[in-house]
Amino acid sequence: MNHYMRSPSSHPGLREAPVAGIERRIATPSETEGGPGDRWDDLTAHDLDRCASFKCRSCIESRIASVRLGDVDLARIGLGTNRLTNTPHNAAFIKEAIAAGVQMIDTAHSYTGGQSEETIGEALSATTGSFMVATKGGIGGPGQGKPEVLRAQIEQSFGSLGTDRIELYYLHRVDPVTPIEESLAAIKEYQDSGKITHIGVSEVTIEQIERARRVVPIAAVQNEYSIVQRKYDAVVDYCSREGIVFVPFFPLRGETPGRAAEIAKQHQATPQQIKLAWLLRRSPAMLPIPGTLSLDHMKENLAATEIQLSEAEFNSLN
Ligand SMILES: NC(=O)c1ccc[n+]([C@@H]2O[C@H](COP(=O)([O-])OP(=O)(O)OC[C@H]3O[C@@H](n4cnc5c(N)ncnc54)[C@H](OP(=O)(O)O)[C@@H]3O)[C@@H](O)[C@H]2O)c1
């Protein structure tokens, strides 16, 4: 059996990474001196003690590199796998993604009829490194969020992934016929027994997140969001304030703004990389999961973390 989260302490690169992500931290006066001032304040509305941390240079730099989920720092670009079928080529691709630096692999019970989870399970059974596999259950129509349905899906995910512990499990959709509290209570049973570490929710409003948080700590929210799909702006801000990782799905979908192509030229980057860089600049809570089956695209997506958009560039894309 395999646990799909290697301890960060076993990975020198991660262990040495500075304090990351969106955890609460109050900067000392010396840290704030000479920092970039208020330029991050437009990213989120946040309270005063968090505001201090947003002005700390070392926090800002570490936030650019990684995001903290629970007690783990993760690279800020992950990999979506909703088109992953179980072929030797795709299994090799998953191994290459981990080797290239992907630390969040996003799958679901429903993806490619279970083949996505199976491929990831087979590919990573003997892989070492620091990474997290997130999966989901409870999508497909009314009744999918009933506790007994979710329990059956979770058990299937353990089998497909070949693991006895899932590091991040999302309720994929709020079931219209089952209160969110009941669905999450079923997932919480697994957290209480140590078989699920962190819990997330997907395609949710702030009100639903708050109801969810009254049942379990919510570590991540996965909603559709991109430079051209902004319906969850308020949820992004809420997650940034509350220390919840925001995982935008379909981060590359939709027409590429002309301005993104212009900015891409200036950075010697691709327009897709600019779309990802915009997301990363939008909030330090952001961990996009672009889906790809191409090794070149996956590496390009990871490299988007190195693109620093100026405030003017960011604003011109808004
Ligand atoms: N929570 C939910 O309800 C939900 C719903 C849908 C999806 N998701 C998750 O979100 C992930 C992302 O969604 P998605 O993959 O459908 O949408 P996406 O990330 O918006 O777009 C993926 C498309 O972009 C292409 N692409 C990726 N990187 C590229 C690059 N660097 N340059 C050019 N093209 C690139 C891919 O083709 P190539 O393969 O050719 O690169 C693919 O056609 C999914 O895989 C899944 O894990 C979650």
Report the mean per-residue pLDDT for the chain. 84
Q: What is the pLDDT of residues 214-226, one digit of tens each?
A: 999 999 999 999 9
**How much of the chain, in percent, has pLDDT values that exceed 90?**
76
Name the residue with the closest Cα to ligand 1, atom 5.
Answer: 249
- The pLDDT score that the predictor gives to residue 190 is 98
Are 167 and 127 within 8 A, CB to CB? no
Q: Which atom of ligand 1 is nearest to the CA of 300?
A: 31
Please give the residue range of the domain that contains residue 9: 2-317
The CATH code of the domain that includes 15 is 3.20.20.100
Are 276 and 249 within 8 A, CB to CB? no
Q: Is the beta carbon of 175 within 6 A of some atom in ligand 1? A: no
- The pLDDT score that the predictor gives to residue 307 is 95
CA of 288 to the centre of ligand 1 (A): 10
Are 234 and 265 within 8 A, CB to CB? no
Are 56 and 27 within 8 A, CB to CB? yes
Query: CA dist 87 to 118, 239, 254, Å?
Result: 10, 37, 29
CA of 291 to the centre of ligand 1 (A): 3
Distance (Å, rounded) from C-alpha 31 to C-alpha 34? 8
| Bridge-based pairing state of the strands 72-75 and 66-69 | antiparallel
Catalytic residue status for 111:
yes
Name the pTM for this structure: 0.85
For the ranges 65-69, 128-132, 181-185, 269-273, the lowest mean pLDDT is seen at 128-132
Q: What is the pLDDT of residues 125-156, one digit of tens each?
A: 888 778 999 999 999 999 999 999 999 999 99
Q: What is the pLDDT of residues 31-89, one digit of tens each?
A: 333 333 333 333 343 343 343 344 454 555 545 679 999 889 999 999 999 999 999 99
Could you give the count of Cα atoms lying within 13 Å of 230 in the half-sphere of its Cβ? 10
- The pLDDT score that the predictor gives to residue 60 is 52
- The pLDDT score that the predictor gives to residue 127 is 82
Using DSSP's 3-state secondary structure scheme, residue 64 falls into: helix
Q: Count Cβ atoms within 10 A of the Cβ of residue 24 and give its class: 0-12 exposed, 13-18 middle, 19 or more buried.
A: exposed
- Number of compact structural domains in the chain: 1
The one catalytic residue in 111, 169, 170, 238 is 111
Nearest to 132 by CA among 166, 161, 164, 159: 166
Average pLDDT value for residue range 6-11: 32
